[in-house]
Structure formats: structure tokens, C-alpha cells
Structure 1
Amino acid sequence: MNLTKNQKVGLYVFAIIVLFIGSIKFYSLKKAEDDIVVIKNEATNKKEIQVYICGEVKKPGVYKINDDKRIIDLVYLAGGFTDNANLEAVNLATKLKDEDYIKIPTKNKNEKDKGIIDSRDDADKININTASIEELKKLPRIGDALAKRIIEYRNKNGPFKRIEDLKNVSGIGDKMFENIKDLISIY
């Protein structure tokens, strides 16, 4: 096949254009695949939460942990149980959520400072140390503003040590406390 000089130049230019367009398409598809991989990796990433554990663990405190973890995982982060831990009083398989307050009770029921509770007695009560705004609003006369103040107080001052401490929150007086005291717990 005999081609003129102009035909040869035209053929070369055409081949270069085809290669250029092909490489652009290849790299844009490769970039799209990379973006899909990044999106999939972000979807599988765990969210980090903060939870508080105290009572019969070796290192009580606030811990950062992935949101797919359970109380037993938090106990290991806190150095494990002490010899006095009452393991039957806590469901160690419970999944953790941000702002949880976990207290591992003692076996010694006579020890006042340990705040021993029977979790069956408090099962239906709202835990003021871990309740969300929506959970707090289930209490009589507690709306958005008061629920937010309870959580702000808790975040600023740490967990409530007794239910009566709830009266330290602005807007909760003796009368309101009397109306809700049988509906709340700190464990």
C-alpha cells in the first residue's frame, strides 16, 4: 500500500489522537474504581465512642473504643475485673454506645460506697447517667431544654453519684424530683 506523505502524517495524527483518548478513558475509569474502593473502606470503618467504666475494675475511667464493642471488651481495656467483682450483676454482652456509664458492682452487698444495685430492680428505670435526650424526655415534665441541661451537667461534672444530684440541674426542684425519682436510676 503506497501512501502519500500527507496520508502518512494524517494516519500518525489519527493514531496519536486515538491513543490519547484511550489513555484518558483508561485513567478516568481507574480513578472511578479507586473512588469506589475508598467509599467501601469508609463504610466499613468503625466509629470511635467514649464510655466511662468504674466500680470493680482495675483501671476505672473514660475510654475510647469502637462502637461495635461490648462491655466485656471495655472491662479488658480497664485492666480486667477486681477480685470483688460481681460478674452476674452485669450483662457483659451488652453493646456499648457513646456516653455509656458502666459500673461493675461488688460481691460485698454490705459495702455502702460501692453502690450495689440489683439490675432487675432498675431494669425499667431511665439511667440518668447514660440516657439520651429522647430517653430523658420520656420522664414527666422533661422537655428538650431540660433534657439538654441534664446531659450538659453530666458532661461537665461527671456521672451522677446519687439520683438526688439531679436537683443540681437548673430547672429541677424538689417537686419535680419527687415526681420522677421512682422512674430514674444512676446504674
Structure 2
Amino acid sequence: MMERGLRGKVAALGAAVVLCAGGSLLGSSPQDTAAVVPVPAAGISAVQTRGVKVYVSGAVAKPGLYEIPAGSRATAAIAAAGGMTLEANPDKVNLAKLLKDGMQVNVPRLSARQLREQTAPVNAGAAAEAAGANTLVSVKTAAESGRGTAKAGGKVHLNTATAAELTALPGVGDITAQRILEYRAAHGFASIEDVMKVKGIGKAKFSKMQPYLEL
């Protein structure tokens, strides 16, 4: 009888130990058992920000070796070299090409024929501008001689002419030109002959001016 009682106590004690251990396991949270793994963020950042070295040559302002941020394209390298020159041929450059360390970005130059074709419109425009500036030809004349000329290849419009254009007319100086402008502002010119209403312009002077006047 005593042996049976002892076995019962041992069994009860074992059951109590098992129950306590199970409760301890159930009470613990995943956060208590999770392992913390450190991440080397500094190393990743260093790799991402590393630049690439490229050599830029050809028709650029400052050819040479440049360090460009990783992931950049050819256009960034050309910009770092001061951009393309006037003789560059941009059609021969792939500006979207992704840069790699140690590569060369070359900007080809235009051929001699292409350069002539490119500068021809510029030269033509400059010549036209110069011709326009020389359209009005003024000739200094003495009042008593009555000689003079208006603008070459054209006439002076009385209702729109400037003082400089008016002084190009035969026998018209600064004072007479100012009087013409004042009369025009007050009355306007309905006909070429109306210019004789301006003080200082008679029939003799008008006859010299008439071939160069228009409305």
C-alpha cells in the first residue's frame, strides 16, 4: 500500500513539471525568440554611389578624362566636357548610351562639305543684313548746290519716314526734316505736294525731292 502511494506522488509531480514547461513555452512570443541579423548598409551605399571614369574626345569644348556618377548616359559625359562645339556632328552620337567604367565617348566632327552647308545660311543672312543697312545712302550736300540722293533702289515714304531717311533727300537737312515730322504729326500728308506746306520747302526744293518721294 505504501509503495502504491509513493508511485502516485511521483506521477503527480511529473505531470506538474510537464504542465509548467508547456505553459512557459506557450507564454513566450515570437519576438523573444527571433534572431537579429545586422545589415551592412554602409557597404551597399558605397557601391551605389561609386562613379565611373570615361574619356571624352572629339568635337567637345574640353576633351579629357572625367568621373561621372554610375548609371549616367553619354550626354552627361559630353556636358561634363563643356558640351559640343559648332563643328560637332550630333547625329553620329548615341546620347542615350549607358556609361561604363573605362569607356570612351567620342563626338565626330562634320565633314568639310557639311561645314560649308551649315555656315552658308549664316553667311547669306549676314550679307542680307548688310545690304539692308546700306539701302539708305545719304549724301552730304551744300544747300546752295541742291545736290543729293534718297535711298538707293527705293523711295522715301512721307508718312512713315524717319528723320534719318528724310535727311537723305536732296536739300533736306536736320531742321527741315524736323519740320516735316512736326507737320506730319499734326496734319499728315494726303499727297506728295503737301510737303510744300512745310516751312522752308518751296517749288524749287520740291522739284529736287519729288523723284524720291512716295505715299
Could you say whether these structures have the same fold, taking a TM-score greater than 0.5 normalized by the shorter chain as the test? no
Higher relative contact order (CA 8 A, sep 6+): 1
| Structure of greater Rg | 2
What TM-score, normalized by structure 1, do the two folds share? 0.37
